[in-house]
């Protein structure tokens, strides 16, 4: 699908100018909202502000910018349904082929010391998630971009395909977009339900939403007939096993992960060279010495039979 018109509405403007210039180079018309449009104009990039495009000004202190049929009609119209195309043509609504949006910085706002409920509320994005979800729902005809890290790859694909993005790429972007909005809403729900009667956040929200990313599918679960996968928090604790990667060997099992975690959590508590051997969550040997080889030999001698097939961890 060739990209002819794009809408950019960005809170995080990193690399936005390069992306916009790349789109312009492919003949893409740009629409944008206030701050983003001003940045593009200042850089000499031709852009139409959304308020001029819709004929309605931004209002209510910026709360209403893109919530308009000319925006969402252009995004949501199915390109494979003639009635949809006839309807937007009747109402003078051009199709919007690419939506590039990132959302108000809610997480960054609530991370500030002393942030008030009113400040947090004003950093809950409404129009942004609506456009992201609209574009993601209609991925068959629209590309939705939520991550600046994707800009170079998308421009490269467009350069190789006469300004077009494949259905496979659009579907991948849509899945990423739904994850993005889901986690954004989860952060809002977690914070708001953590507030006490004095509007102060407490450690434990009334309703906790969690999010994890699959690292790999494991060979099997706790038992061979069970399935399992290893998931990681998007912000894993420093020093935890979730930060590490497998260098070689076959796929791990649930027990491999559990034992590796137990072995690492134990061995990292020692300051001197140490070795820990774990099998099925039980320590088969723990030893310290002046060097790792001797530490291993001591640990192995503790229970050399049970150590077979176990996990060995060192702190050096």
* 187 and 285 inside one domain: no
Active site residues: 137, 280
Residue 295 has pLDDT above 80, yes or no: yes
Instruction: Let me know if residue 201 belongs to a domain.
Output: no
Q: For 110-142, write each residue's pLDDT tens digit.
A: 988 888 999 999 889 888 899 999 999 999 999
What pLDDT, on the 0 to 100 scale, is given for residue 250?
85
* 253 and 301 inside one domain: yes
Q: For 80-93, write each residue's pLDDT tens digit.
A: 888 898 988 889 99
Domain hosting residue 35, numbered range: 5-192
* 113 and 177 inside one domain: yes
Instruction: Let me know if residue 199 belongs to a domain.
Output: no
Q: For 223-258, write each residue's pLDDT tens digit.
A: 989 999 999 888 778 888 888 888 888 888 889 899
* 52 and 158 inside one domain: yes
CATH number of the domain at 56, please.
3.40.50.1380
CATH number of the domain at 298, please.
3.40.140.20
Instruction: Let me know if residue 233 belongs to a domain.
Output: yes
Q: For 23-49, write each residue's pLDDT tens digit.
A: 999 999 999 988 898 899 999 999 998
The proportion of the chain whose per-residue pLDDT surpasses 90, expressed as a percent, equals: 59
* 24 and 105 inside one domain: yes
* 217 and 283 inside one domain: yes
> Helix 34-42 vs helix 16-25: angle between axes, to the nearest 10 degrees?
70
Convert the chain into a string of H (helix), E (strand) and C (coil).
CECCEEEEEECCCCCHHHHHHHHHHCCCEEEECHHHHHHHHHCCCCCEEHHHHHCCCCECCCCECCCCHHHHHHHHCCCCCHHHHHHHHHCCCCCCCEEEEECCCHHHHHCCCCCCHHHHHHCCCCHHHHHHHHHHHCCCCCEEECCHHHHHHHHHHHHHCCCECCHHHHHHHHHHHHHHHHHHHHHHHHHHCCECCCCCECCCCCCCCCCCEEEEECCCCCCCCCCCEEEECCCCCCCCHHHCCCCCCCCCCHHHHHHHHHHHHHHCCCCCCEEEEEECCEEEEEEECCCHHHHHHHHHHHCCCCCCCCEEEECC
Mean pLDDT score of the chain, rounded to an integer? Answer: 90
Number of domains comprising the chain: 2
What pLDDT, on the 0 to 100 scale, is given for residue 251?
84
């Amino acid at each position: 699908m060739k990209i002819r018109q794009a809408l950019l509405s960005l809170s995080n403007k990193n690399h936005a100018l390069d992306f916009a210039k790349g789109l312009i180079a492919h003949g893409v018309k740009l629409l944008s909202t206030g701050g983003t449009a001003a940045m593009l104009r200042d850089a000499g990039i031709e852009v139409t502000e959304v308020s001029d495009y819709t004929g309605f000004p931004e209002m209510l202190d910026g709360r209403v910018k893109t919530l308009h049929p000319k925006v969402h009609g252009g995004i949501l119209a199915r390109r494979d349904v003639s009635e949809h195309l006839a309807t937007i043509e009747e109402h003078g609504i051009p199709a919007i082929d690419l939506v590039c949006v990132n959302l108000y910085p809610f997480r960054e706002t609530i991370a500030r010391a002393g942030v008030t409920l009113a400040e947090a509320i004003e950093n809950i994005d409404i129009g942004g998630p609506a456009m992201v979800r609209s574009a993601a729902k209609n991925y068959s005809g629209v590309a939705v971009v939520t991550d600046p890290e994707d800009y170079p790859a998308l421009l490269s694909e467009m350069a190789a395909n006469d300004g077009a993005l494949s259905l496979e790429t659009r579907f991948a972007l849509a899945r990423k977009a739904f994850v993005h909005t889901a986690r954004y809403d989860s952060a809002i729900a977690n914070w708001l339900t953590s507030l006490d009667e004095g509007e102060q956040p407490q450690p434990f929200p009334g309703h906790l939403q969690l999010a994890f990313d699959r690292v790999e599918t494991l060979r099997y679960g706790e038992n061979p007939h069970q399935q399992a996968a290893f998931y990681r928090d998007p912000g894993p604790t420093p020093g935890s096993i979730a930060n590490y990667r497998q260098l070689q060997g076959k796929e791990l099992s649930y027990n491999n992960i559990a034992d590796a975690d137990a072995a690492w959590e134990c061995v990292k508590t020692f300051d001197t060279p140490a070795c820990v051997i774990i099998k099925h969550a039980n320590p088969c040997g723990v030893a310290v010495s002046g060097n790792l080889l001797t530490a291993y030999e001591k640990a192995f001698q503790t229970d050399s039979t049970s150590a077979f097939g176990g996990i060995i961890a060192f702190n050096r």
